[in-house]
């Protein structure tokens, strides 16, 4: 099965547990103000590749993956190409690889549900905790990732919630109250990652000759993020 990808990272350490082979899919319907990969947005961009070739490449690194590592489908939005994602995931599982999907949770249909049958862990972004912010800074309703999370919970799929912290937007008390409510409601959530907003992607926007919407925001320090992590209430 062929699909379009932006790039591959052979030995990634930030997209799921352990060391992972990360496949960045091409295409995303959202427009997050802090998007690090605006060059993945265009569905027609990137390059075409066969799912078998991806698995063959991933298996070359199998000895590095250890007990926790494996393959992660990221993007862009990997679940937009749901059949292609499923083809990779099925073969990955057959080959004994742990599978993760890093998603915005904006698309949930029968084909996506089918692909999720072969996923060991979902990394789900809850980018903001109000619908107004979602509409304004992401481009969809907050209901979308919440519906997705409800489904993951029904299917008992272990889930890591992720949130990029943008000072003055979501580093406030209300956000953490709401985030903790979401964490408490869904038992499948066993991990939460707070990531500091960064601006290193600005050059990509410059190259594409489009404005970087979040240029005006400051970046949090590591100490700021560590302090905010203390506000997360999660049962381990």
35 near ligand SF4, rule: CB under 6 A:
yes
- Determine the longest span between alpha carbons in the chain, in angstroms: 47
- Quick one: which segment of 23-31, 89-97, 148-156, 211-219 binds ligand SF4 (CB under 6 A)? 23-31
Contact 84, 2 (CB under 8 A): yes
- Quick one: which segment of 28-36, 116-124, 195-203, 208-216 binds ligand SF4 (CB under 6 A)? 28-36
Neighbours of 143 (CB within 10 A): 11
- Quick one: which segment of 73-81, 113-121, 141-149, 205-213 binds ligand SF4 (CB under 6 A)? 73-81
- Quick one: which segment of 34-42, 43-51, 152-160, 182-190 binds ligand SF4 (CB under 6 A)? 34-42
SS3 196: strand
The minimum distance between CB 18 and ligand SF4, in angstroms, equals 22
91 versus 129: smaller Cβ distance to ligand SF4? 129
200 versus 223: smaller Cβ distance to ligand SF4? 200
By CB under 6 A, the residues from 190 to 229 that bind ligand SF4 are none
35 versus 89: smaller Cβ distance to ligand SF4? 35
d(CA 117, CA 98): 13
The minimum distance between CB 31 and ligand SF4, in angstroms, equals 5
Q: Which of 144, 48, 152 is nearest to 105 (CA)?
A: 144
Q: What is the C-alpha end-to-end distance of the chain, expressed in Å?
A: 38
185 near ligand SF4, rule: CB under 6 A:
no
Token pair in block for residue 229:
């992590």
- Quick one: which segment of 9-17, 71-79, 177-185, 223-231 binds ligand SF4 (CB under 6 A)? 71-79
d(CA 50, CA 84): 9
**Selected binder of ligand SF4 within 23, 32, 73, 152 (CB under 6 A):** 32
35 versus 161: smaller Cβ distance to ligand SF4? 35
142 near ligand SF4, rule: CB under 6 A:
no
Helices (H), the chain: 51-59, 62-65, 82-94, 110-116, 131-137, 143-154, 173-185, 202-208, 222-229
**Selected binder of ligand SF4 within 15, 17, 20, 40 (CB under 6 A):** 40
d(CA 143, CA 118): 24
DSSP3 helix / strand / coil % (the chain, rounded to 5): 35, 20, 40
Give contact residues for ligand SF4 (rule: CB under 6 A): 28, 30-32, 35, 37, 40, 75-77, 104
């Amino acid at each position: 099965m062929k699909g379009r990808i932006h790039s591959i990272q052979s030995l990634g350490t930030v997209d799921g547990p352990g060391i992972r082979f990360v496949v960045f899919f091409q295409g995303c319907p959202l427009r997050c103000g802090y998007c690090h990969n605006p060059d993945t947005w265009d569905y027609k961009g990137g390059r075409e590749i066969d799912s078998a070739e991806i698995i063959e490449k991933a298996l070359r690194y199998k000895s590095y993956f250890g007990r926790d590592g494996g393959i992660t489908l990221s993007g862009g939005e990997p679940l937009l190409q749901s059949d292609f994602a499923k083809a990779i995931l099925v073969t990955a599982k057959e080959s004994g690889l742990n599978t993760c999907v890093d998603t915005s949770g904006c698309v949930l249909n029968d084909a996506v549900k089918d692909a999720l049958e072969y996923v060991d862990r979902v990394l789900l972004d809850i980018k903001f905790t109000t619908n107004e912010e979602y509409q304004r800074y992401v481009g969809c309703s907050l209901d979308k990732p919440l519906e997705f999370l409800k489904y993951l919970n029904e299917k008992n799929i272990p889930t890591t919630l992720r949130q990029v912290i943008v000072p003055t937007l979501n580093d406030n008390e209300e956000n953490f109250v709401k985030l903790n409510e979401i964490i408490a409601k869904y038992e499948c959530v066993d991990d939460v990652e707070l990531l500091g907003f960064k601006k290193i992607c600005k050059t990509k926007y410059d190259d594409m000759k489009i404005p970087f919407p979040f240029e005006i925001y400051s970046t949090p320090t590591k100490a700021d993020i560590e302090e905010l992590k203390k506000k997360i209430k999660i049962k381990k």
